[in-house]
Structure 1
Amino acid sequence: MATLELEKKQNIERLINVLAVAIPVVVAVLLGVRQKIDLGVWTTSLPHLNAGINSITSVTLILGLYFIKQRNVNAHRITMLISFVLGSLFLVSYVLYHLSNESTPFGGEGWIRPVYYFLLVSHILLSIVVVWFVLRAVYYALTEQFARHKAVVKWAYPIWLYVSVTGVVVYFLIKPYYNH
């Protein structure tokens, strides 16, 4: 029985590793598709939706930290699961936008240009890294492996919060250059 349980845990951890690599690779491949798919004009509003999703995610992440510091485990669990669902919705929306719309070039000049690109590049790189941490954190929490959950969250939380906040900042910096 213990061997079956260990094998099940190893399979789930293997799946997490595969997803943590597959998700960024699939997103990169989809973003690289030159021929855009016409999904309709509604997709032009997705960056605005994504900024809203990232904003709410930032708030729920902060609330999740607050609740766990208050030892309100149930509220913490709810806000963190909301964060996870929002992150998943963001990913779908982001892919749909980039499958159907060209990327918007940044038109800013002067000192803001390197600031924008620093935030954008760090946001993208850390959004790739955070997938592994978040999937593990959720798995450990749901399987009540709280010591492991706490250890991975030490890294997952600040990276995830940074990615959410910089996503909003990058959106506001590029928003004036959208054609729609």
Structure 2
Amino acid sequence: MITEEEKKYRKWIVLLSIVIPLAVAVLFGVNLRKLGYDVTPLSFLPPIYATINGLTAVLLFSAVAAIKQGKVKLHENLVKVCMACSLAFLVMYVAYHMTSDSTPYGGEGVIRYVYFFILITHIMLSIIIIPFVLFTFVRGIAGAYERHKKLARITYPMWMYVAVTGVIVYLMISPYYVH
């Protein structure tokens, strides 16, 4: 049974799940330097947002460990920090791409296919994960714990994959960044 709190947030979750990927796609295509604005490329951001992805993975793992130990408040706080990390990543990622040229991957052979497989699945899941994270979170704060737990079993591995592959993508492309 859907709680009133879940009903209250449903429209917002659906809206955010559509608006965030669309906004990122639009802003990704906007390069302020190419539009004539005098902005400094934010080339220092990729290692920072890759680190944030790694931190998110560690915090997600810790959140699951906390709930398994019955530490509900710690679990909730860790998930909130994970959500904040994901938001910080998103802002930095967009800011970087709005001020810098995209870096082409320079690897060759099989590793090139591996890179693009990881990148494409990372991007696809980063879009798909948005409503999963938000619905899972709302179920938790609404006290719908069984439904929260059921959805979290799907959300957790997807979110973990996005966080870990974000680091892998950065490590694979980092030799090709121009500084």
Q: TM-score scaled to structure 1, two decimals?
A: 0.91
8 Å contact kept, 2:32–2:39: no
Unaligned runs of 5+ in 2: none
Distance 1:162 1:9 in 2: 26
- Asked if 1:93 is matched to 2:92, the reply is yes
Superposition RMSD in Å:
1.6
* AA matched with 1:26: A
Distance 1:38 1:21 in 2: 31
Once the two structures are superposed, the pairs formed by residues 64-143 of structure 1 within 5 Å of their partners are 64-143=63-142
Distance 2:128 2:63 in 1: 21
8 Å contact kept, 1:137–1:152: yes
Q: TM-score scaled to structure 2, two decimals?
A: 0.91
Distance 1:21 1:154 in 2: 23
The aligned counterpart of 1:40 is 40
Higher relative contact order (CA 8 A, sep 6+): 2
The aligned counterpart of 2:147 is 148
Report the alpha carbon displacement of residue 9 of structure 1 after superposing the two structures with TM.
Answer: 4.1
Q: Partner of 2:49: helix, strand, or coil?
A: helix
- Asked if 1:49 is matched to 2:48, the reply is yes
Q: Deviations over 1:69-88 (max 9, x none)?
A: 11111221121111111011
Distance 1:35 1:16 in 2: 30
Report the alpha carbon displacement of residue 38 of structure 1 after superposing the two structures with TM.
Answer: 4.5
8 Å contact kept, 2:6–2:138: no
Q: Partner of 2:156: helix, strand, or coil?
A: helix
- Which structure has the highest helix share of the two? 1
Distance 2:127 2:83 in 1: 15
Unaligned runs of 5+ in 1: none
Distance 1:11 1:72 in 2: 27
Report the alpha carbon displacement of residue 142 of structure 1 after superposing the two structures with TM.
Answer: 1.8
Question: For the structure 1 residues 129 and 19, does the alpha-carbon distance in structure 2 shift closer, same or farther, using more than 3 Å as the test?
Answer: same
8 Å contact kept, 2:31–2:100: no
Question: For the structure 1 residues 33 and 81, does the alpha-carbon distance in structure 2 shift closer, same or farther, using more than 3 Å as the test?
Answer: same
Identity %: 41
